[in-house]
Structure 1
Amino acid sequence: MNIMDELEWRDAINQQTDAEGLRDLTNQKAISLYCGVDPTGDSMHIGHLIPFMVLKRFQLAGHRPVILIGGATGTIGDPSGRQSERSLQTLEEVQANVDALTEQMKKLFIIEGDNQIRMVNNYDWTHKINVIEFLRDYGKNFTVNSMLAKDVVASRLESGISFTEFSYQILQSLDYLHLFQHEDVQLQIGGSDQWGNITSGLDLIRKREGSEAKAFGLTIPLMLKADGTKFGKSAGGAIWLDPKKTTPFEFYQFWANTDDRDVVKHLKYFTFLTKEQIDDLADKVQTEPHKREAQKKLAEEMTRFVHGEELLEQAKRITAALFSGDIKSLTADEIEQGFKDMPTFEATQESKNIVDWLVDLGIEPSKRQAREDITKGAISMNGERVSDVGLEVTVAQAIGGRFIIIRKGKKNYSLVKML
C-alpha cells in the first residue's frame, strides 16, 4: 500500500498542495520530509503527536523523516491559533526546552537503520543571518498583501499582531528552503493551522529554485472529539508526554476513557495497528461496547509507544488494583500515581485509635459516625475492611511506610500520607 493510500484510509489528510504529484513522487522513490515543533515548553502534549505520528508512518514506509526543533522560531512565537501576543522566553529558557524536546523526540522516533530520523535545529542556520541579509535575501520575496491574506494573520488583524509574530511565516519559509537545499526535503507536513506557513515556504522555494522545483505540503485535520471539544485536554489540563507532568497511569486512563464515538478514529490516527486489526476492534465497539476492548487496546498501544513496556505494565497493575480493591498489591510509587487526584490527608507516625484517627484527619465528621461506619463495614484500610473500633493505626500498616488508603463506602477513597 502506498503511504498516501494508508494516510487516506486513516483519514489523516486535510489539505495537499499537489495530491497527484506527491503520490507519483512517493511511488517513484523514498523521499525526505519534515515536521517541526517550537520549544514553547519542556514537553510535548498528545496534540503535538498528531503530525509526528504521520511522520512516523512515512518512516515505517521507508521514507526519510527530518524532525525540526525550532530553536529560532521558538524565540519568536507562532501566531497560529492565538488571539493575542505570546510572552517571549529568554534564550536560556528556549535552549532548555530545546534540550528537553530533543531527548523526548529521540526516545519516541529515533531507530536504527537506513531510514533513521534526522534531527535539526533551525537556530543553527538562522542565527547566522543578519538583519540586512534577512530583509534583502528573504523579505524581498514576500509581499505584505500575500502575508495579510494568510488565515493566521488575518485572524489577528482586529486584535493586533506585532511585526515579530508577523514575520514568523518568513522564518518558517526559510526553514523549508534550507532543508530543501541541504537535506533534500521535498515535503513539509503539519497541523491544519500550518497551511499558510507551509504554502509560504513553497512559494519561497519556487522563487529561489525555479517554478519546477518539486516540493509539496500536506496538513493533518484538526482533531475534535465527538462532543465538539478540542482533543488532548482532560479535566486536569493537557495530557503531557513527560511522565513527571502526566503520570503513565493518568496517560493510560486518558486513552482508556475514550468515547465509543471517537475510539476507532483514534486507533487509526495514533496506533500502528493494521486495517484488519482496527476493523475487528470497530466491530467489537458495535457488538460488545461494554467490554471496551478497543479502548483498552488504544490505551495499551499509546502507553507502550510513549512510555515503554515497563510503565505500561505498571499502569495496568494500578488500574486492575483500583478495580478489584487489591490495594496492597501496589507499591508506594504506584499508590502515588493511582491516587494522585484523590482527597489527601497527612498524619503523624504516632499510634492512634482508628476512630480518633479518622476524625482528627477529617475523613469522618464525628466519633459517632466513625464508629457507626466501622461497625457497618463501610470503612476499608488498604483494601481490607475494618470491623474493630478498637484498632490502633500505626506506621507499620502504611504501604511502603508512606501511604494508607481509606475507602468509605464503595467509591470514596482518601490518601493518607504518613509524615
Structure 2
Amino acid sequence: MTSYSSDLLATLSTRGYIHQLTDATALDALAAKQVVPGYIGFDPTAPSLHVGSLVQIMLLRRLQQTGHKPIVLMGGGTGKIGDPSFKDEARKLLAEDGIQANVASIKRIFERFLTFGNGPTDAVMLDNAEWLDALEYIPFLRDVGQHFSVNRMLSFDSVKLRLDREQSLSFLEFNYMILQAYDFLELSRRAECRLQMGGSDQWGNIVNGIELARRMDGTEVFGVTTPLITTADGGKMGKTMAGAVWLHEDQLPHFDYWQFWRNTDDRDVGRFLRLFTDLPLGEIARLEALEGAEINAAKIVLANAATAMCRGQAAAEEAAETARRTFEEGATGASLPTLEVSGEIALIDALVGLGFAASKGEARRLIKGGGARIDGEKVGDEGAIVTVTSEVRISAGKKHHGVLRAV
C-alpha cells in the first residue's frame, strides 16, 4: 500500500476508498499543507439517495474528518439532462419543481454525515443550476466547447458502452460530460475547489474537468475515484429482494436498514466496517478476524454503527432490540415493516405488500421454494389466505420479517 504524508490520502488509502488518483504526489503535498476544498456531484433524481451513493457520502465525511472542506454539489442543472455514464438508456427528465423538491429532501441526508456552516472546513451545498441555467449557448460553445475533442469523447467507456450496444445516446446526454467538466471549472473559480471525487464510472468526466481548468485558467486541480463496491458474491451493493436500500426512513424503515447491514456476507464485514463506519482500524481488524458464529457479533456492530450514523443512535438501538426480540423470542416489533389488513389477505398479496416480493409471480416462487412463513410456520400453498384478527408475523426466508396488523 502506498505511503502518504497527508491525513487525507492516508485515511482514504487505509480504509479502501482509492481506485484512481491524478498526480497523487502533488495532491498529497497540497493536502498536507492546506485545507483542500473537494466536491462530489449528486443528481437529484429521487427524494432520497440509496446505499449505492453511501461510499461517496462517506468520502466527503472522510474529507472533513481529515481537516478539509466538503462541497456537496446538487445537480439541479445537470439533473435536467441525466448522466449517461454506463446507463443502458436515457433517464426520465424531471420537471423543475420535482428537482427542487428532491434537492431539499436529499439535503437532510447530508446533514447527518457532515457538519455544515461558514467555517474553513464546514461543508457547503451548492447547486449547479446557479451557473448552468444562466449559460448562453453560443458563447458557451465558443469559449468552452473548443476545448473538447469529439473523437476523445467518443472513446470514453461510458459513451462506447451505449454505442457498442447500438442504444440511443441523445445529443442532450452527450453534452453531460462537458457540463460536468464546466462544474469543476466553476467550483475552482467560485469556491477554490481543488479536488473532484466520484465513483470509478466518473473517471472520464473528472479528467475532462481537470483538463478544462488547466486550459482555461491554468489552475491545477485533482481527481480521486473510488472502486465499484460489490459484495463478495459479485452482486451490486444495495440490491436486495425488496428493492433499493434507501437512506431516508420515510422510504425504508429503520429495521430494514439495520437488517441490510446485519445480513452482510462474512467476507465483506471488515471492508464494510472500514468504508461505512468510524470505528478505529485496530478494532475493525479484531472484528474481522472473528470466525464461525462469532462473526455475527461483528455484523451487529456494523449494523449498529452504520444505522446510527444514517438514522441516529435511537433508531439503531430500536432496530437492534427489534431484531433481538424477533429472532430470539419470536416476537413482533413496532419497527418491522407493517401492512394493515381488514379481515383476511392472500399470502401472495401480503408478501408483495410488505415489499418481500416485487410481483405476485415472485411471491409464488418464494412460497413454492419454501421461503414463506406465517407466524414461524412454513407455508407451501400458493393460495394460502391469512386471517388477521390482531397481528400476524410474515417471514420471507430467514432474514425478512413483517407484520400484518388488523384495522
* Alignment partner, residue 280 of structure 1: 286
Mapped partners of 1:165, 1:86: distance in 2: 9
Q: Which runs of 5+ in 1 are unaligned?
A: 348-359, 364-378, 383-392, 399-403
Mapped partners of 1:325, 1:188: distance in 2: 49
Give 1:81 deviation, angstroms.
Answer: 2.0
CA, structure 1 residues 75+406, in 2 after alignment: closer, same or farther (shift >3 Å)?
closer
The letter for the 1-side match of 2:307 is T
Give 1:327 deviation, angstroms.
Answer: 3.0
User: Does the Cα contact within 8 Å between 1:345 and 1:414 map onto a contact in 2?
Assistant: no
User: Does the Cα contact within 8 Å between 2:57 and 2:113 map onto a contact in 1?
Assistant: no
Mapped partners of 2:35, 2:132: distance in 1: 28
* Alignment partner, residue 324 of structure 2: 320
* Alignment partner, residue 196 of structure 1: 204
Give 1:291 deviation, angstroms.
Answer: 4.9
User: Does the Cα contact within 8 Å between 2:109 and 2:310 map onto a contact in 1?
Assistant: no
SS of match in other structure, 1:161: coil
Give 1:84 deviation, angstroms.
Answer: 1.5
User: Does the Cα contact within 8 Å between 2:36 and 2:68 map onto a contact in 1?
Assistant: yes
User: Does the Cα contact within 8 Å between 1:172 and 1:201 map onto a contact in 2?
Assistant: yes
* Alignment partner, residue 392 of structure 2: 405
Mapped partners of 1:37, 1:174: distance in 2: 15
SS of match in other structure, 1:338: coil
Count matched residues.
362
Give 1:340 deviation, angstroms.
Answer: 3.8
Mapped partners of 2:374, 2:128: distance in 1: 57
Q: Residues 335-354 of structure 1 correspond to what in structure 2 (within 5 A)?
A: 337-340=335-338, 345-347=341-343
Equivalent residue in structure 1 for 2:131, among 125, 128, 150:
125
**Which digits, 9 at most, give the CA deviation of each residue in 1:47-96, with x for residues without a partner?**
11112211111101110111100000000000012021222112222122
* Alignment partner, residue 263 of structure 1: 269
Give 1:244 deviation, angstroms.
Answer: 1.6
Mapped partners of 1:249, 1:394: distance in 2: 22
Equivalent residue in structure 2 for 1:18, among 23, 29, 46:
23
* Alignment partner, residue 158 of structure 2: 152
Q: Which runs of 5+ in 2 are unaligned?
A: 1-5, 348-372, 377-386
RMSD: 2.7
Mapped partners of 2:346, 2:84: distance in 1: 48
Equivalent residue in structure 2 for 1:174, among 182, 193, 197:
182
Identity across aligned pairs (percent)? 35
User: Does the Cα contact within 8 Å between 2:287 and 2:295 map onto a contact in 1?
Assistant: no
SS of match in other structure, 1:128: coil
Equivalent residue in structure 1 for 2:255, among 230, 249, 257:
249
CA, structure 1 residues 237+23, in 2 after alignment: closer, same or farther (shift >3 Å)?
same
* Alignment partner, residue 298 of structure 1: 302
User: Does the Cα contact within 8 Å between 2:15 and 2:274 map onto a contact in 1?
Assistant: yes
Give 1:326 deviation, angstroms.
Answer: 6.0
Give 1:325 deviation, angstroms.
Answer: 2.6
* Alignment partner, residue 28 of structure 1: 33
Mapped partners of 2:345, 2:213: distance in 1: 67
Higher Cα radius of gyration:
1
CA, structure 1 residues 197+362, in 2 after alignment: closer, same or farther (shift >3 Å)?
closer
The letter for the 1-side match of 2:405 is K
Mapped partners of 1:407, 1:42: distance in 2: 29
CA, structure 1 residues 94+302, in 2 after alignment: closer, same or farther (shift >3 Å)?
same
Give 1:30 deviation, angstroms.
Answer: 1.6
CA, structure 1 residues 22+361, in 2 after alignment: closer, same or farther (shift >3 Å)?
closer
Mapped partners of 1:186, 1:11: distance in 2: 22
The letter for the 1-side match of 2:44 is P
Give 1:38 deviation, angstroms.
Answer: 0.3
CA, structure 1 residues 13+362, in 2 after alignment: closer, same or farther (shift >3 Å)?
closer
User: Does the Cα contact within 8 Å between 1:65 and 1:116 map onto a contact in 2?
Assistant: yes
The letter for the 2-side match of 1:171 is L
* Alignment partner, residue 100 of structure 1: 105
* Alignment partner, residue 365 of structure 2: none
